[in-house]
Amino acid sequence: MLYLVGLGLADERDITVKGLEVVKRAERVYLEAYTSILHVGKDKLESLYERPVIVADREMVESSSDEILEGADKADIAFLVVGDPFGATTHTDLVLRAQELSIPVKSIPNASILNAIGATGLQLYNFGQTVSMVFFTENWKPASFYDRIRENASIGLHTLMLLDIKVKEQSLENMARGRKTYEPPRYMTVMQCAQQMLEIEEEKKVHVYAEDSLAIGCARVGADDQQFACGTLKELCNIDLGAPLHSLVLLGKRAHELEKDYIKKFAVNEETFEESWKKYHGRNQ
C-alpha cells in the first residue's frame, strides 16, 4: 500500500494517531519537501516517529516516482505531506502512477491551510477560489490568478492567497551549464505579496482591490506563534510578520459584522480599519 499521510501545519506532533501508526509500520518513509514546510527539521520527525525519513524533493517526486513506489505492492510505503495530502497541493501524478502499477493507495487526512485559515475569524463559507502568488522578477510578472480574484470579489467572497516558496531552485546560469548548484531557500512574505498585489492592480487598471482595501496577513498558521495582522494593502506592505510560512487573505465585500468584530483585534491601525470597513463593507450590513 502507498499511504499519503497528512502532517498538519506546524511540527512533528501534528500528525494524527492513524498517520503515526502507518509511519511506524512502513518499510520506507518519504517527506515531500518542496510545496510546503514544517517549522521543524526532519530530525524532529525521525525522533518522534522512530524511523528514518527520506527527503523527497521535486525532482524525485516528478521524475523518479518509480523509486518511491518500488516494493509498494508488497509492503507499506509512507509519503508524508505537510498539511493535507489533497489540500493546497494534490499529488495526483503519484497516485495515478501507483494505480497504473496496481498499487493500492490510501490517504490519511490532516489540517490544511484551507481550513486552518478559519483562525482569522473569517467564515470558511465566505471564501472563494484559492490562488497562488509567485515571486515576480524584473521581466516576469504572471497575473493569471487575477481573474479568479476578480470572480471572487464580484460575488463578495474572500480570497486566500498562498505565497510562493523556492526550495532547491537553480539559477538560469547554473541550469544552462548543467551545474547541480542550488539557490538558498526563499519564502514570500505578506509584505512582498501585498506589494506585488498593488503592482498588478496598477497594471490591470481594473482596481478590484486598492491601497485602502482590507486584507489579513497570516504567518505560521497552526503553530504556537501564529500571527495575524489586519490592515489595508498599503499598510501590509510594511508589516514584518517574521518567519515563514505566510499567506494573505483579501476581504470580500460580503464580510459579516461578526467577522469584523473578530478581525478587528488584529488591526494594524483601528482608525484606518474602521474607515476601510465603512467604505467597502459597511453598506452590506
163 is in an annotated binding site: yes
261 is in an annotated binding site: no
158 secondary structure, DSSP code: B
Strand 214-219 with 227-232, pairing: antiparallel
Rounded to a whole number, what is the largest CA-CA distance in the chain?
Answer: 63
112 is in an annotated binding site: yes
212 is in an annotated binding site: no
If one counts every other C-beta atom within 10 angstroms of the C-beta of residue 122, the result is: 22
Q: Are 82 and 37 in contact (CB under 8 A)?
A: yes
Phi and psi angles of residue 105, each rounded to the nearest 5 degrees, phi first:
-130, 140
84 is in an annotated binding site: yes
Give the neighbor-by-neighbor strand order of the sheet with 159-163: 131-133, 159-163, 246-250, 214-219, 227-232
246 is in an annotated binding site: yes
Taking phi over 0 as left and psi of -120 to 50 as alpha, with beta for the rest, 168 belongs to left
Q: Rounded CA gap, 107 and 98, in Å? A: 13
Reduced 3-state DSSP string for 41-107: CHHHHHHHHCCCCEEECHHHHHHCHHHHHCCCCCCCEEEEECECCCCCCCCHHHHHHHHHCCCCEEE
Query: Can you say which residues are annotated as belonging to the binding site?
Result: 9, 84, 87, 112-113, 163, 221, 246
Query: Can you say which residues are annotated as belonging to the binding site for S-adenosyl-L-methionine?
Result: 9, 84, 87, 112-113, 163, 221, 246
